[in-house]
Amino acid sequence: MGDLAVGARSGHDEPEKKADEAIGDDVTGDDVTDDERAHDDGDGEAAAGRSGASPKKPRSFWKELPLLIGIALVLALLIKTFLVQAFSIPSESMMNTLQRGDRVLVDKLTPWFGSEPERGEVVVFHDPGGWLEGQETPDPNVVQKFLSFIGLMPSAEEKDLIKRVIAVGGDTVSCKEGGKVVLNGVALDESAYLYPGSVPCQDSFGPIKVPEGRIWVMGDNRQNSLDSRFHQQLPGGGTVANDLVVGRAVVIAWPVTRWATLPVPDIFDQPALNKAVAAAPLGAVGLAGALPLVLWRRKKRTAGHTAE
């Protein structure tokens, strides 16, 4: 070390004493005392500490993987619970709108904000009780149940049904055999979504007044759909409570060759459908307003007869 430092100063060999004296010299020839060297060493160690001379090694991918999986599962569960959920179509009752094996995404968000089912929507709902009695249901394994629970697979809860909303609370619906479905006095042209060759109803029903807070549902493949028409003997008269509706099916997500949205058909936007519903409350208001007048006149007549 001394030889190197000395060579840097003079380029010639010096006595050993000179070499010892030159130990403190740096390559520029400046002398450094012991105190200064100690001071510099301390500053260097402090600077190394401040600059993170020994940074922590990043965690390995395998240590991070469980955390990432946990976050993904929580997000999937939250999405399935509050936003959208996948459902698999198990039957042909909604052909050709939906085919067996299609996967649809159901909007579960808007019901949280008070949205209720509307005419023409395709909705998924829980079995009101007795609708699926006697029908075979798949028996998924543990893995399928778990993936379905967190929303990574279509629902394994086979007690759900999917139909189209035809009438909502306050509506009156009926149909004559071989004729059209009549909603609030308006005959519906359902050719836009009915299965080709299917008639609106093969058996007559109604008129049925749908109670408030409930819906009347029918499949698009009317000859192959056990819908509201066939459960009128059950509590609710074939109608489904709004609280049992999981959400509206908004898109066919799988297979990709079948990708499509599920809009509300134009026939349900007719103003005449709402006018008929509005007429009933107005009539009730008129009756309520006329009742006091009738009672007052009757009381006056009674008082007149008594006086005579």
For residue 300 the two structure tokens come to 């006056």
Lowest pLDDT segment from 80-84, 262-266, 282-286: 282-286
First to last CA, the chain: 143
Q: Work out whether the CA dihedral 216, 217, 222, 224 comes out positive or negative.
A: negative
Residue 218 — pLDDT band, cuts 50, 70, 90? very high
Between 262 and 42, name the one with better pLDDT: 262
Residue 230 — pLDDT band, cuts 50, 70, 90? very high
Cis peptide before 15 (omega within 30 of 0): no
202, pLDDT greater than 50:
yes
pLDDT of residue 227: 96
Instruction: Say if CB 242 and CB 221 are below 8 A apart.
Output: no
Amino acid identity, residue 145? K
116, pLDDT greater than 90:
yes
Instruction: Say if CB 138 and CB 68 are below 8 A apart.
Output: no
Instruction: Say if CB 122 and CB 98 are below 8 A apart.
Output: yes
Burial (CB count <10 Å: 0-12, 13-18, 19+), residue 124: buried
pTM of structure: 0.65
Q: Which residues are catalytic?
A: 93, 163
For residue 298 the two structure tokens come to 């009757």
